[in-house]
């Protein structure tokens, strides 16, 4: 029997030993889905704290409740480790490590390079290796494949390699791993078939494409689409401000058109793990091919400028009250990058706070999901939310519209509110409200 058929049979019978490398917001949900389908999962992360918590059955990811993780750990379906040597006997490896940008906006591939180097040392015939980390088109073929082939493996014959982009939306209660279609591109057709067989065990729909590079491009198109359209609507907000009209009224009227229009909404800037970062992978790759990704660069320019625009609006609002920014007490409500999550990666709130502090403002924040944030050498802690917090502020800035907030209460206790999310406009109160 061929190695491919043996692996397919082991996947179908749930005898295949699976593994996930990188136990963040992508890797841990994936490990749980595999374990829930009957596979044994070796979950690897270099952070010993994460490993210890998982082995206690304790989740640190909001989308993975502890009461779902713990029974799987107790049943022996999930075992966490920091040692790549523990992957020597596994049949499948899904790589879910971070892929950040450097300050120069070029890809930092160190996590992928380090992980595949360690995996190559424990790889064996009959193994499936899938990269899920978002990256530039060509990564699987240029970085993953050569390191595995250096051991004499042959792709599609004795080892199987594919790319399947993560499609995790933290905090999304409707779409999670099991009901979000999974795109898969194998190095060969057999590689794609084996990868699809694994994911079909816990995902409702698998979409196969012709190559890993195509699958990598699919992911970047998805997030570039959002980044560019958010950049467009943010620029429309700037235009409407100059024209003296309400951008939200414009959008709400435009979205009544039943065809040819999809509403996007302005905000204080982009945040999170994907949209502010992923398009730059594509832009960087195209620069190596002497092509300038103009839409991406322009959208980035507009989106990264939104925190400064928000600060300017705050300054104007304070000025109307005969107050300077310097010395004013400003309360920021919400520092997570989106509603009802605890993730502050790339959050525009951090830039807004930094810009206000540079101008001499006394800035504090409250966020029910984020107990503290790090700004340079300083650590800020979430203030207690009460009447005094709001009443003592010269300006309250709504950066993240968490559903925990009572907007009527905010408007009734505050003097001036800068609402970057259009969260308060359906509510009444005594505060003067300004928006984008």
Active-site residues: which are they?
A: 274
CB-based contacts of 121: which residues, under 8 Å, 6+ apart? 84
- The count of other CB atoms within 10 Å of the CB of residue 374 is 10
Inter-residue contact 226 to 265 (CB < 8 Å): no
- Residue 395: closest CA among 323, 297, 303: 323
Inter-residue contact 35 to 41 (CB < 8 Å): yes
Q: Helix (H, G, I), strand (E, B), or coil: what is residue 362?
A: strand
Q: Per the structure block, which two tokens stand in for 178?
A: 């099991």
- Give the H/E segment covering residue 1: none
| Three state DSSP letters for 379-406 | EEECCCCCHHHHHCCCEEEECCCCCCCC
**How far, in Å, CA of 67 to CA of 64, rounded?**
8
Could you give the C-alpha distances from 94 to 64, 235, 254, 381, 423, in angstroms and in order?
18, 39, 43, 36, 39
């Amino acid at each position: 029997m061929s190695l491919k058929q043996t692996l397919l049979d082991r996947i179908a019978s749930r005898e295949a030993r699976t593994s996930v490398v990188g136990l963040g917001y992508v890797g841990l949900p994936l490990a749980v889905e595999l374990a829930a389908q009957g596979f044994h999962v070796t979950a690897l992360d270099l952070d010993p704290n994460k490993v210890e918590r998982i082995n206690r059955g304790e989740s640190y990811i909001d989308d993975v409740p502890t009461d779902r993780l713990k029974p799987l750990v107790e049943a022996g379906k999930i075992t966490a480790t920091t040692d790549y040597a523990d992957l020597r006997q596994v049949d499948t490896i899904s790589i879910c490590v971070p892929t950040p940008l450097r300050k120069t906006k070029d890809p930092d591939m160190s996590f992928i390079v380090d992980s595949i180097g360690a995996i190559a040392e424990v790889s064996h015939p009959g193994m499936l290796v899938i990269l899920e980390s978002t990256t530039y088109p060509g990564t699987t073929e240029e970085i993953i494949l050569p390191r595995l082939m250096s051991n004499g493996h042959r792709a599609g014959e004795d080892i199987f390699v594919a790319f399947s982009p993560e499609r995790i939306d933290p905090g999304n209660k409707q779409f999670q791993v099991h009901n979000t279609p999974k795109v898969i591109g194998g190095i060969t057709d057999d590689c794609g078939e084996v990868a699809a067989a694994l994911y079909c065990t816990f995902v409702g729909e698998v979409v196969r494409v012709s190559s890993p590079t195509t699958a990598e491009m699919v992911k970047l198109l998805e997030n570039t689409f959002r980044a560019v359209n958010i950049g467009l609507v943010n620029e429309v907000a700037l235009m409407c401000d100059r024209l003296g009209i309400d951008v939200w009224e414009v959008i709400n009227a435009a979205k009544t058109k039943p065809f040819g229009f999809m509403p996007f909404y302005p905000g204080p800037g982009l945040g999170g793990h994907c949209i502010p970062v992923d398009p730059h992978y594509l832009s960087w790759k195209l620069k190596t091919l002497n092509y300038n990704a103009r839409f991406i660069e322009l959208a980035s320019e507009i989106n990264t400028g939104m925190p400064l625009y928000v600060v300017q609006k705050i300054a104007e609002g304070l000025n109307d009250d005969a107050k300077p920014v310097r010395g004013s007490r400003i309360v920021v409500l919400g520092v997570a990058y989106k509603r009802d999550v605890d993730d502050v990666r790339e959050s525009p709130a951090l830039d807004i706070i930094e810009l206000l502090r540079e101008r001499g403002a006394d800035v504090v924040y409250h966020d029910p999901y984020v107990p503290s944030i790090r700004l340079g050498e300083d650590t800020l802690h979430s203030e207690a939310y009460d009447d005094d917090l709001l009443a003592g502020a010269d300006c309250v800035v709504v950066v993240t519209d968490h559903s925990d907030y009572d907007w009527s209460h905010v408007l009734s206790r505050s003097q001036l509110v800068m609402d970057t999310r259009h969260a308060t406009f359906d509510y009444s109160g005594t505060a003067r409200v300004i928006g984008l």
